[in-house]
């Protein structure tokens, strides 16, 4: 059966949203990111782009299945003071981050959730 292009695209998005890693487990980093699908015009026509958007800021990174999640974890650790061992946000140290007041408020808000 041949579906209209818009319906085929929506079906692909729904299927891809539930794809797990090779070992069958989903990374814990996805608790802090949402997947955003974007259509872009390229040389070969319309291209689909998949982005991970941080739920704490406006940071976006490509999240194709072959790219892995290391960059997403690094963003959480470096910009939001996330401790991967404790699985929580920590208070920034003195001189860490661009604005200590914003950083500490972010930590307090995150740990209240």
Q: What is the pLDDT of residues 52-107, one digit of tens each?
A: 999 999 899 998 878 889 999 999 999 999 998 888 888 877 666 555 555 556 65
The beta strands (E) that lie in 30-84 are given as 33-42, 45-54, 60-62, 82-83
Q: pLDDT by residue (tens digit) across 26-54?
A: 889 999 999 998 887 778 788 888 899 99
Q: Per the domain annotation, does 33 fall within a domain?
A: yes
pLDDT of residue 79: 92
**Strand 82-83 and strand 60-62: pairing?**
unpaired
* Residue 11: pLDDT over 50: no
Residue 17 has pLDDT above 90, yes or no: no
Domain holding 81, by residue range, is 17-89
Q: What backbone phi and psi angles, to 5 degrees, belong to 7?
A: -70, -40
The C-alpha atoms of residue 52 and residue 99 are separated, in whole angstroms, by 25
Domain count within the chain: 1
Q: Which of the pair, 9 or 27, is modelled with greater confidence? A: 27
Residue 57, in any domain of the structure = yes
Residue 6 lies in a domain: no
For the chain, the first-to-last Cα distance in angstroms comes to 46
């Amino acid at each position: 059966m041949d579906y209209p292009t818009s319906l085929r695209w929506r079906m692909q998005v729904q299927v891809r949203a539930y794809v797990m890693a090779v070992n069958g487990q989903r990374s814990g980093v996805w608790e802090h990111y949402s997947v955003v699908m974007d259509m872009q015009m390229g040389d070969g026509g319309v291209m689909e782009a998949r982005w991970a958007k941080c739920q704490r800021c406006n940071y976006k990174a490509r999240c194709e299945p072959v790219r892995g999640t290391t960059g997403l974890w690094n963003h959480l650790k470096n910009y939001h003071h996330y401790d991967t061992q404790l699985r929580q946000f920590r208070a920034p140290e003195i001189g860490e981050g661009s604005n200590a007041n914003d950083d500490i408020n972010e930590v307090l808000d995150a740990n209240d959730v």
